[in-house]
Structure 1
C-alpha cells in the first residue's frame, strides 16, 4: 500500500483503507494476503494470512502517511542543488543572504538545514533563504543540507561570500535648526565648511524643509542665500548637495558624508528634491508644482 504523502490530492489515507478493506472482504477461504506499507520506509505490516479480522485491524489502526513514497523516489531523477551567494564584496555590519536552489523537483516537502563556518545567523534557518552577518575580512562558507530527498541523491550544497576588511564610515549629522525665513545660520554653515576642508573626500548635505504654506519667494531667497554664502566662503559647488522638500515643519539639517558612507536618511520625507545650483529656479519649480494651492489647503484642513 502506497502511503507516501507527496500527492495527497490524488490519494488519501481514507481511500487507501477503503480499498484495502474491500480487497480483504473479498478474500475466499483459500486466499491469503500480505500487507506491505511504503512511504518514507518500506514496512511489512503482516505476513501472508487469511485472517480477515487481523488484516482489517492492521489496515484501520497501523497505516500512516509519510512524506514521500520510496517507490516514487526510485523512479525520480535526483534534483540539482546549488547555493546562491552574494556577488559583491560585503561591508562589515551589513546583512547578506545565501539562497538554496533546487531544480527538478517539487520543493514543498523539502526541509533545509544550514551550517556556516563563521559569522552569525540572523534569520532563515529551516528555509531556503539564510540571512546573516559576518566578521571583517572573513570568508563565509554556507552549507545547506536538504532533507526529504531520496537516500541515493546528493543532499548538500555550499557557496562562499567575502567580507571587506574595513568598516564603512557613518554619515554625520552636524546640526539641525530652525530660523525665521529666509535667514541662514552662517556659523553653522561655517562649521560644515571647516569639516569639508579637513576631509577633502567628504560631501556636505544641506537639507531644507519648508512648510506647505511657505511662499515660493521665501524658498527662493533661502536657497539663493545659501548658494551665495558658499561662493563667499569659496566652497566648490560640487562639494555640497542641497535638498529641499515640503514638510509639516520648517527645519534645516546639515550633514557630512565621508567617502564610502551612505547618504543621509532624510526621515519622514518621501521625495526630497536636489537643487542644481546651476539651474535652481527650474528645480524649485518642481517643489512649487507639488505644493497644494491655498484653496486646497483650506479644504483639506476642513476635511
Structure 2
C-alpha cells in the first residue's frame, strides 16, 4: 500500500492528535504525546499545523512528527501497527533524508524517535548517530497518590477562573527564563483539541503565595498521561515545591483516568531527574535522539 506524506492543516490537527493519543500505551516508550501538540498550540493552529507532518498508509495515519525549524529536529510519534514494518521505515527515512520533501534541511537533521523498533534500527544502520541523552520517567497511577502538601487550584477548558489563571501564567514566567506564555497564548492553547483532556495546576503555600505550577495532558482513559511543563517560582525554590507540584500533577492525571504520569528530561538535568524520583517516578533507561552525520 502506498505511503503518503502530508503537512497538517488546522482542520486536520484534531485527527492527528486523536491518532497519536491512541498510540500511547502502558509500558511503551515515552514518545510524542497529544500534550506535546497541545502545549505548542499556544502559537496558534496555523503555526502548529505548518510544523506537523503526517504519514498515511491507505488513508490511515501511521506516523506524525512535529518539526522545529530552528534546530532541524523532528519529534516523532509512530503507530504500534508499524513498529516492526521495514517497508514503512524505509519510506519514512527516505522522506526525512530528502530536503525536497520539506521535513528536514539538507545541512542538518535530528530525529527524536523513541518508538518504532524497525525505524530506530534503520537509523542506526544508515549512519545516524546518537545525540543528547534523555531520561524518561514514569509513575504508575494504579494506587492512591499521596497528598502533596500544597493547596492546589486548577483551570481547564470548562473551569477558567481569572485569578488562578493569572497566577498560573505568573508562575510559569517566573520559573522559565524567556518564557512566552501570556493570557492570549494560554487562551489559544486552551481552545485546542488536546486541552479538552488537559488541566493547569497552581500550587499555593500556607501564606497563599502561588509557588509552583504545571500542565497535565491525558491521552484518554487507561493511557499514559504527560506532564508538560512543570516549574517552581524562582522566588520560592529550595522548599520542596517542585516535588509537591509533581505529586499534584500525578494526582490530577489519576483523576483524568491516566494509567501513569510520564515525563522526559535531559539526562544532564541531574537535579530534575532526582526531583521526579523523589516524587515517586521511576527512572527509565536513557534514550537518545538521532543526528545525521554531515
TM over 0.5: no
- Tell me the TM-score normalised to structure 1 length: 0.20
Larger radius of gyration: 1
From the two aligned structures, give the one with the greater helix fraction.
2
Which structure carries more relative contact order (alpha carbon 8 Å, separation 6+)?
2
